[in-house]
Amino acid sequence: MRLAGLGWVTPLGSTLDGVWEKLQAGESAAAKSLGQGPGEKGLEGFPVPQEVSAEASRHPRLRRSSAISRFAVVAGLAALHDAAVELDEASAGRTALVFAISNGGVIYTKRFFHEIVQSGAQTASPLLFPETVFNAPASHLAAILGITGASYTLVGDGAVGLLALRMAEDLMMVNPELDRCLVVGAEELDWLLCDAYRRWRLLRAAPPIAPFAQVAHGTILSEGAGAVLVAREGEAVEIEQIHPGGNFARQRELAGQLEAIARDLAPNDSVDLFLASANGTFIDAAERSVAAKHFPKAAVYTMKPAVGESVAASGIWQTICAVLALRRQELPPLLGIPKGFGLTTARKPPGEAWRRAVVSTCGLNQQVAALTLRI
């Protein structure tokens, strides 16, 4: 399978080149206070700049939709554009859609339930409820693209983006009539989400995210969408293998699960890049130990300090980041690197060109997945 097109909406912007240049320049997104819940202090997150999805909100299908749907549509259309694919009725029939969602439409869900709690069920809005359903963003994008066949929304934790890519590969393998599959991961940001992650002891109140630190201080949430068009033919970056993933029962078991996946995926001396999901939480230690043991020569990078943790979108962002690094033979600087890190953080190939990358996504709620890309 090939990655034929890429698109993203991130707190740093929404063009491939523009975001990549900011990452290369060592920029991180602007954090914003998200207001506060009852009795709580304000928490910060990385929002998407408002102008990014303004155009999408004019589409009739998206007039009442939440931000998550608009991000998803912008990223999905960008990936198709990047691949120079224009869908008509026939080609839409040979295109599948797979969405990855974790927190979903939390803004409308909160508003809907707030009405129930504050004023009773009689006041709950029938306009809000349909947008709270996990597959609402996929439904909007399918309608805009005219897709009448397979459309799936997968839910999960931070691993769900790669699990969606795996499902896309499954669909392509079992349905020879499919030409392509558009995979989109999307999330939106709200104080309620931040409050939940803080009470779950996984969030810090304000940036920076300190990746791979000895002590995990917590992550910062963000929002946006990532989209990749998986096709049988396309550009030079190939999806070599997508591991079906696994689950870990306890945090201390994560490293073992990730190690098992790493063993399945690649011999340790053939990986040039390790695109980690490290986000300032317990997953960093697991990825650090697996990278040191299995991919000692690989250059390690996580984009979370720059753009935050956007859960389902993050896995797709990481994949896009890996493609761009392989294409351009460069990595952005790893922000917030701890003293005595001990792993390679090279930004250019030391000698021979980078040819192979591992993307790792460790979720915060028991799921883990990884893939390898080759140029």
Kind of pairing, strands 299-301 and 367-374?
unpaired
DSSP 3-state assignment of 231? strand
Specify the amino acid at residue 188. E
- Rounded to a whole number of angstroms, the minimum distance from the CB of residue 166 to another protein is 8
β-pairing verdict for 273-275 and 246-247: unpaired
CB of 245 to another protein, least distance (A): 4
Task: Indicate the DSSP class of residue 218.
Answer: -
Pick 100 or 209: Cβ nearer another protein: 100
Q: Minimum CB separation from another protein for residue 199, in Å? A: 5
Smallest separation (angstroms) from another protein to the CB of 63: 12
Q: Output the six-digit token pair for 43.
A: 């928490």
Residue closer to another protein by CB (options 205, 346) is: 205
Pairwise CA distance, residues 5 & 2, whole Å? 9
Minimum Å distance from CB 163 to another protein?
Answer: 6
- Pick the closer one to another protein by CB: 170 or 235: 170
Which sign does the torsion angle of CA 84, 89, 90, 96 carry? positive
Q: What are phi and psi of 293, to 5 degrees?
A: -80, -40
Task: Between 134 and 341, name the residue whose CB sits nearer to another protein.
Answer: 134
Nearer to another protein, 62 or 290 (CB): 62
Q: How far is the CB of 176 from another protein (least distance, A)?
A: 8
**Which residue lies nearer to another protein by CB, 109 or 219?**
109
Positive/negative CA dihedral, 192, 196, 199, 202: negative
Catalog residues that contact another protein under the rule CB under 8 A. 37-40, 101-102, 109-110, 112-114, 116-117, 120-122, 124-126, 129-136, 138-140, 142-143, 146-157, 160, 163, 166-167, 170-171, 173-176, 192, 195-197, 199-201, 244-247, 249, 365-367, 369
Integer-rounded Cα Rg, in Å, for the chain is 20
Q: Got the DSSP string for 271-335?
A: --EEE----SSTHHHHHHHHHHHH-TTSEEE--HHHH-B-THHHHHHHHHHHHHHHHHT-----T
CB burial of residue 81 (10 Å; 0-12, 13-18, 19+): middle
Measured from the CB of residue 137, what is the shortest distance to another protein in angstroms? 9
Closest CB to another protein among 243 and 288? 243
